[in-house]
Amino acid sequence: MNVVRSDYGSGLYSTPVCDTSNVNAASLITCDLSPNIVTNGTYVARAYVNRTGDGETFVDVLRLDKESSAKDMIGVDGILWSMFFIITIVMLGLWRPTVGILFAVMGVIIVQVLGIMSLGLTSVLAIVVIAALLAFEMRKQ
């Protein structure tokens, strides 16, 4: 079994991950991907059978696309860092409450786009609508 990883940025470049073989009649062939667990890319495993005198015969291929987001790497700590980031941005707009509200919405959208904290589209739209209503009411005062 031959396993290679193709990077997303350069599709032509393939990195060999493992090349494992077994001579038993019935066996389980495994490949440890744990050293490559944080590396995004497409993993392709190709299985071959080598019979006596026949050469290698292609049997099967397995393709696995692996993508890890910032949320997967940071984990639950991303919520804490997101709150620190949003609070810092809001503090920049403290001199005027409507600017603070606008900065808070921008912070939520930035955190969502970066993938640090996972919010649904409905949640983001609700935050934007509530912020717009608050800013509209603050304008009257």
DSSP-derived secondary structure for 82-132: HHHHHHHHHHHTTTSHHHHHHHHHHHHHHHHHHTSS---HHHHHHHHHHHH
Taking the C-alpha atoms of residue 9 and residue 13, their distance in angstroms, rounded to an integer, is 9
Regarding whether 102 and 60 lie in a shared domain, the answer is no
Per-residue pLDDT at 85: 86
Per-residue pLDDT at 137: 86
Report how many domains make up the chain: 2
Per-residue pLDDT at 129: 93
Regarding whether 25 and 61 lie in a shared domain, the answer is yes
Cβ atoms of 58 and 48 within 8 Å: the answer is yes
Regarding whether 96 and 76 lie in a shared domain, the answer is yes
Tokens of 46: 């190709």
Per-residue pLDDT at 37: 61
Per-residue pLDDT at 98: 85
pLDDT in tens, 101-124: 888 899 888 888 887 877 888 988
Regarding whether 48 and 31 lie in a shared domain, the answer is yes
Regarding whether 78 and 55 lie in a shared domain, the answer is no
Regarding whether 105 and 49 lie in a shared domain, the answer is no
User: Domain boundary residue among 47, 68, 89?
Assistant: 68
User: Domain boundary residue among 68, 85, 102?
Assistant: 68
User: Which parts of the chain sit beneath pLDDT 70?
Assistant: 8-12, 35-39, 51-56, 58, 66-73, 75, 140-141
Task: Name the 3-class secondary structure at 62.
Answer: strand
Nearest to 6 by CA among 105, 25, 123, 14: 14
For residue 121, the number of C-alpha atoms closer than 13 Å in the C-beta half-sphere is 0
Domain of 53 in residue numbering reads as 2-68
User: Domain boundary residue among 68, 92, 114?
Assistant: 68
Cβ atoms of 106 and 124 within 8 Å: the answer is no
